A and B are shown apart, each in its own frame.
Chain A
Amino acid sequence: SQQGEEDPQALSIQEGENATMNCSYKTSINNLQWYRQNSGRGLVHLILIRSNEREKHSGRLRVTLDTSKKSSSLLITASRAADTASYFCATDDAGNMLTFGGGTRLMVKP
């Protein structure tokens, strides 16, 4: 079962534009994490936001968390072709493990 569900499933934008992906989850969490996966590679941890945080930044990434709506968003500003990848949210709803959503496939066209 997937705790987190990303929306949209796929997103295509031009280089320089901003990309926004959303994640909804079902149960209470301690933190929510975002990961990137380039084609044929393993997932790479991007950012972790705790349940008592509302917003977090890391470089061109901005993550928000709304625990009342059980949702999070990942914003990538000034996107580059190298940002083309799949992005996954993950939650720690099940103890010492993460549950991943189905991912958003982002394509950034040069």
Chain B
Amino acid sequence: DAGITQSPRHKVTETGTPVTLRCHQTENHRYMYWYRQDPGHGLRLIHYSYGVKDTDKGEVSDGYSVSRSKTEDFLLTLESATSSQTSVYFCAISEGTAWDYGYTFGSGTRLTVV
């Protein structure tokens, strides 16, 4: 999607290994979000950021950490991957607050933990 890219697009990893997913934006938007999408659960917020080095937890943050050292990059790390973290991960960006602006989503990263 224009202005936002996720990498990798697909990844298979083993249980217990750390994994880092990257979200990169060229829109200079302040807000960035990580969601996971699972059948039967819709999209659930993992972590979000409202500026460089400013992050906060979402609904399903256990087992995940994030970092944002630059406006354009928001990294999601699975400390020690488990099979329950097999999911499709989406990054989203927003120009402003959720009540004024919509999100632009990346194309997603499909992560399989075996």
Q: Is the beta-carbon distance between A100 and B90 smaller than 8 angstroms?
A: no
A6 and B77 alpha carbons, distance in the complex (Å): 31
- Smallest CB gap from A98: residue in B: B98
Inter-chain contacts of A100 with B (CB < 8 A):
35, 42-43
- Dominant secondary structure of chain A at its interface with chain B: loop
Residues A92 and B90 in contact in the complex (CB < 8 Å), given A42-B1, A42-B105, A97-B45: no
Contacts of A57-107 to chain B: CB distance below 8 A: 88, 90, 92, 95-103
Residues A43 and B103 in contact in the complex (CB < 8 Å), given A95-B98, A97-B58, A98-B98: yes
Chain B interface extent, by class: 20 to 34
A45 interfacial contact with B, CB 8 Å: yes
Partner of A96, one of B1, B42, B59, B98: B98
Chain A interface extent, by class: 20 to 34
B33 interfacial contact with A, CB 8 Å: yes
Q: Is the beta-carbon distance between A45 and B108 smaller than 8 angstroms?
A: no
A29 and B50 alpha carbons, distance in the complex (Å): 20
Q: Is the beta-carbon distance between A41 and B48 smaller than 8 angstroms?
A: no
Inter-chain contacts of B42 with A (CB < 8 A):
2, 88, 100-103
Chain B residues proximal to chain A, CB less than 8 Å: 1, 31, 33, 35, 40-43, 45, 48, 50, 58-59, 90, 92, 97-108
